[in-house]
Each structure stands twice: as structure tokens, then as C-alpha cells.
Amino acid sequence: MTYSTPVTETMNNHVTARFYTGEPIAEEMLEAILSAARRAPTSSNMQTYSIVVVRDLETRKELAKITHGQKHIETCEVFLAFCADTKRLETAVANHGVIMARSLELTLVSTIDAALVGMSVQTAAESFGLGGVMIGAIRNDPKRAAELLDLPQGVYVVFGMCLGWPDDERVPPQKPRLPREIVIHYEQYDHVDPTPEIEVYDDELAAYYGNLNRNQHIAAWSGPIATRLDKPLRPHLRGDLEEMGFSLE
């Protein structure tokens, strides 16, 4: 028996969409998506996230600069900023005469909450036929992003998302994923060396890029990752987040 629902079909058909038709997204549709996503799981019902909906083109142009010019931020219909938000908690506990204790756990909780609601938005949006792409590069300059979106202390953009009606002629084929054998573990973590599966995946991904006429490292997954991870990513981020009210201790 094959088990399938409209939700799993939507998830199994996911592709990244960076090019859009320019057709507007109805406000009622966007509100339906955001309302559904607000039912996402949240730790201890703290709901430590906020979503900033950005339609203004000039703001999106400035946000694109943070990401080194990702044009889809300008050409999408709507840009969503998913924020870890501890400001409301601070207000809530202060109303009870308590000073909120900041901690690494609270930073993780708020970041995870933002990620969960963001994934829920993407799934809901794709169920309507919309397409999008998540923008982690917004963390290149979290303080500038906060300035553009007028975020208070205790709030930072975890990632952004472009949404629009995808230009079907420019939607890429679905990219292969890592073999399930090295991603899904049963009962306990499997410590078998994943190198053979990684090499198979390198070849599969290289063939994918080759079909798109994209010049890619011969080890198409592990090669670029090795190049990227030979130094710390965004080394400024810890200091920026601490200045913005997030503890990493």
C-alpha cells in the first residue's frame, strides 16, 4: 500500500523557485497561509517568533544588499522575515514583576520557533501553487536587517523567504537529496562510515548540475562544502546577536 496525502505530495514535490511571473498574491491567500502557519509547534507555548511581511520594493532592495544582491528578493511578490522574538516574553514577565533571564536555551527556543513557523509557511504556500526560496544570507548583517525592519532589542531575523507565483519555464528540476541510509537512523545513531554513500551522492548531484549545464565541482556536494567550511561561517554573528539581546552562554 502506498501512503500519500495532499500534504505529503506537496512536500515531496518541493523545489526552490527563484523566478516569478509578477502576478500578485491575493492578500486573503497570504493571510490564510500565515494563519495556518501560526498553528506550528512552539516550545512551552511561548510563541517566540514574529513574521515581518515586506512588500515595499525599496525595503526589499535594501534587504537584497545584505545578501550580496540576491535579485529574487526584489522580484518576488512578498518577502517574509522570520524572526526570533523574545521581546514579547520580556514584556509579559515584566508585567508580573519579573526580570527575564536570558540564556542560550531561550536563544535556541526562539530560533527553532522561527524555523518551525517558516517551514509551515513554505508548505502552506506551496499547497496553493506558490513558490519560494529561503534566504539565510539575511544573517550576513543582522543589525542592518533589524534597522531596516525596525526590530526592537531581543528580536533578530533568523532567515527570510521570497514568495511568488513561479515562472514554470524557469523552475529547476527537483534536486536529489542525500541517501536516506545516512540521514534516517533507527533506535540509535548508525556510526557506519558514510563515505561510500556521500561519494554516490556527489556523482548523482554532479549529473544533476551537468544536465543544467552548470559548472560544478566534480564532488558536487562534499567538494563545495569542504571549501565553505574551511573557516568559520559568519564569525561576526555571535557578537552581533549578543549586542541584539540574545545570550549564547
Same-domain status, 76 and 130: yes
pLDDT of residue 216: 78
Same-domain status, 106 and 216: no
22-34 pLDDT per residue, tens:
999 999 999 999 9
Domain assignment present for residue 70? The answer is yes
Distance, in Å, from the CA atom of 134 to the CA atom of 14, rounded to the nearest integer, reads 12
Residue 215 has pLDDT above 80, yes or no: no
DSSP three-state, residue 120: helix
pLDDT of residue 2: 87
Neighbour count for residue 57 (Cβ, 10 Å): 11
Rounded to 5 degrees, what angle do the CA atoms 61, 134, 230 make?
100
Same-domain status, 192 and 166: no
Domain assignment present for residue 197? The answer is yes
Same-domain status, 12 and 82: yes
Residue numbers of the domain that contains 149 = 6-172
pLDDT of residue 214: 87
pLDDT of residue 83: 98
**1 band by pLDDT with thresholds 50, 70 and 90:** confident
Same-domain status, 43 and 128: yes
Same-domain status, 190 and 109: no
| Average pLDDT of the chain, as a whole number | 97
Distance, in Å, from the CA atom of 207 to the CA atom of 185, rounded to the nearest integer, reads 27
Q: What percent of the chain has pLDDT above 70?
A: 100
40-92 pLDDT per residue, tens:
999 999 999 999 999 999 999 999 999 999 999 999 999 999 999 999 999 99
Same-domain status, 137 and 34: yes
Same-domain status, 59 and 165: yes
pLDDT of residue 7: 96
pTM of structure: 0.96
94-139 pLDDT per residue, tens:
999 999 999 999 999 999 999 999 999 999 999 999 999 999 999 9
Among the residue ranges 43-52, 99-108, 159-168, 205-214, the one predicted with the least confidence is: 205-214
Residue 3 has pLDDT above 80, yes or no: yes
Domain assignment present for residue 231? The answer is no
pLDDT of residue 166: 98
- For 201, list phi and psi in degrees, rounded to 5: -65, -40
Start-to-end C-alpha separation, the chain: 49
Distance, in Å, from the CA atom of 147 to the CA atom of 129, rounded to the nearest integer, reads 32
